[in-house]
Amino acid sequence: MGHAVRVFAGPLIALRAFERISRHARVYALTPDAPVFVVPFTEDLEDDVQQLHGTGDWLQTGPRLSTGTMAFADRASQGASLGYLETEYFGGIGEQSAVLWQNGVLTLGPLSMSNDSSGAVGRRPRSLWPVNAVLRGLGVRSAGHDDEFDALGLGAYRSLAAIAERAQLIGRQD
């Protein structure tokens, strides 16, 4: 079973910045009581961000982001917090990456961690996993859940297509 998502997460004020620059941006709540919302970072949305803000250089390691996208996220986080979450797993083997911006400043990351057949991630406390660390920075708490990843509801959505099909779409503000 796999899990492959690329999303920006945060409060609506930060995520609306994506809607302002792209007709492809969609904001979703993953659970009815979602502590933060997500915007799937689809190829179309990524193209729109890069067309308006440039590609820049691609990060050599960690998340699949360009410096142009990182600069846009800086601006989108003005007055709020914004996280980028990326997973790529199949059969428990893969990696995750995450980045956190707060009030226009990169505050955590880019973080990345791999899990190979030796179970490297499994030996590390879940609280130290990149996605969980960034979600805590966004105010997500694990109370009553295995971790912040599950508290947000990401475990129920293994792909961007699953988010688009089953998560609650939050109306656009254009």
155 vs 126, more confident: 155
pLDDT digits 0-9 by tens, 6-21: 999 999 999 999 999 9
Q: Which residues contact 72 (CB under 8 A, 6 or more apart)?
A: 17, 21, 49, 52, 53
- The reported pLDDT for the residue numbered 81 is 96
Q: What pTM, to 2 d.p., does this model score?
A: 0.90
Q: Is the peptide bond before 35 cis (omega within 30 degrees of 0)?
A: no
Three-state SS at 69: helix
Residue 37 contacts residue 82 (beta carbons within 8 Å): no
Q: Flag whether pLDDT at 54 surpasses 60.
A: yes
95 vs 84, more confident: 84
What is the sign, positive or negative, of the torsion defined by CA atoms of 86, 109, 63, 14? positive
Residue 96: band (very low, low, confident or very high) from pLDDT cuts 50, 70, 90: confident
- The reported pLDDT for the residue numbered 34 is 84
Residue 37 contacts residue 14 (beta carbons within 8 Å): no
146 vs 18, more confident: 18
Q: Flag whether pLDDT at 117 surpasses 70.
A: no
Q: What is the mean pLDDT of residues 59-66?
A: 78
- The reported pLDDT for the residue numbered 172 is 66
Residue 149 contacts residue 131 (beta carbons within 8 Å): yes
Strand partners, 9: 38, 83
Q: Flag whether pLDDT at 53 surpasses 90.
A: no
156 vs 116, more confident: 156
CA dist 114 → 39, 59, 93, 94, 129 (Å) = 24, 16, 8, 6, 10
- The reported pLDDT for the residue numbered 3 is 76
> Can you tell me the distance from the alpha carbon of 155 to that of 58, in angstroms, rounded to the nearest whole number?
28
Q: Flag whether pLDDT at 37 surpasses 80.
A: yes
Percent of the chain with pLDDT over 70: 87
Sheet holding 168-170, edge to edge: 105-115, 93-102, 81-90, 2-10, 37-40, 27-29, 168-170
